[in-house]
Amino acid sequence: MIKHLMAGTMLTAAAFTPVAAQDAPAAAPEATAPAAPALALALAGSLTANPAPTNFDLGDFGKVYVTGVASGVARFQSNPVGSDRGTYGDVTNAQVFIQKVDGVFQFFLQAGVYSIPVLGTPYVRATRTTDATFGPLPQAFIKIAPSANFSVQAGKLPTLIGAEYTFSFQNLNVDRGLLWNQEQAVSKGVQVNYTAGPLAFSVALTDNFYSSKYSAISGLVTYTIDPSNVLAFAASGNTKKTSKSTASTPGLLNNEQIYNLIYTHTSGPWLFQPYLQYSRVPNLPVFGSTSASTYGGAVLARYTFTPNFSLPLRAEYIGTSGKAGGSAANLLYGTGSDAFSFTVTPTYQYNRFFVRGEASYVKASGIAKGNLANPGTGFGRIGNDTSQVRGLIEVGVLF
């Protein structure tokens, strides 16, 4: 899977729909009552979608909306891993979204190229990421909604797990975090959604880490305590052990169980979203590893200074079980390693155009040291460095 294609060493929000977008970032929005997952991609709140997207009225069939994103990035980093570079520029998104958002029959299509940068892992360019992961149609599904509180979705679906989304423009920060790198991103399957008052439920049968083997079950329960406070619990697990391992399907994590507890609080210009995560991989003799687990937590936050300018922040920690040099699965920077990170992403948006700067720091401990012939599990050309600093600027337009 993409989270791990990039990892040589390292193995809900405002809906992005035509009616949900605002012209520019405003004060942090209050949490709203839960609903079945929106068709279109979600935005975490530092960027806003086009409030008047292109649409085509097809008569009895209804309106079809066409939106999209184009963005590029210039980056630098210390201690690049392996053949990764210290500086580079690339496209982060060149995507178009076509959707029908009302009526019994609805659909969502996402097409284009994309990169999916992650903290603490080598960068993979957009063309290679697209080819090696979910292809030029990364998400595509239909939704049957016979009533306002019940629906069924089928196709290439976004995951129910985690507090961060897959594509850079969706998130408070440009690079995904360390905890995100343990989670699914896109899965093929079927999902059922039901809303009852302040509670929303979603259950999905999928192929987990894009394995084409439909044996994973995931679920999400969201409880809106009041307009400013939302609590969510998510869980996912594979019901069968599988030996499949490709660039888009990491063999170890495709067998995992993973759990999230996510709390979202909004107050005036502030958004706070702390969450906890635990995952476990079983004994997998086919990969030569015994069971291992990860445990961690993160705080995502954003302060909105003006309708055009906001400051998102992220701090996180993740640790793994096992002893250095042992047989437990390597899920981070070597068996028994741990890491923390801090990211700040000042964001400015004017109408549909946006620019984001970002500075991040990752510190790992418990890495295995190596040499040129047998690199270690940390940062740098031979994997012996324990930290990495990154800086970037992303410029784009949401149309």
pTM of the predicted model as reported, rounded to 2 decimal places: 0.90
Q: Using alpha carbons, list the distances in angstroms from residue 32 to 15, 153, 178, 229.
A: 11, 22, 28, 9
Question: Long-range CB contacts (< 8 A, 24+ apart) of 20-24?
Answer: 20/49, 21/48, 21/49, 21/50, 21/51, 21/53, 22/48, 22/51, 23/48, 23/51, 23/351, 24/48, 24/307, 24/308, 24/349, 24/350, 24/351
Structure-token pair, residue 315 = 């701090």
- Domains, the chain: 2-398 (2.40.160.10)
User: Is 60 exceeded by the pLDDT of residue 308?
Assistant: yes
Residue bearing the bigger pLDDT, 296 or 29:
296
Strands (E), 42-104: 42-43, 54-57, 63-77, 87-100
User: Is 60 exceeded by the pLDDT of residue 30?
Assistant: no
pLDDT digits (tens, 9 = 90+) for 56-89: 999 999 999 999 999 999 999 999 998 899 999 9
pLDDT of residue 178: 98
List, in sequence order, every residue forming a beta bridge with 270; answer none if it has no partner.
Answer: 267, 303
pLDDT of residue 29: 37
User: Is 50 exceeded by the pLDDT of residue 11?
Assistant: no
User: Is 80 exceeded by the pLDDT of residue 19?
Assistant: no
User: Is 70 exceeded by the pLDDT of residue 24?
Assistant: no
Q: Using alpha carbons, list the distances in angstroms from residue 231 to 155, 282, 348.
A: 27, 29, 29
User: Is 90 exceeded by the pLDDT of residue 127?
Assistant: yes
The residues, any chain, with a CB within 8 Å of residue 224's CB and separated by 6 or more, are 31, 32, 33, 34, 198, 199, 230
Going by C-alpha positions, the residue among 53, 55, 56 that lies closest to residue 68 is: 53
Mean of all residue pLDDT scores within the chain: 90
pLDDT of residue 37: 53
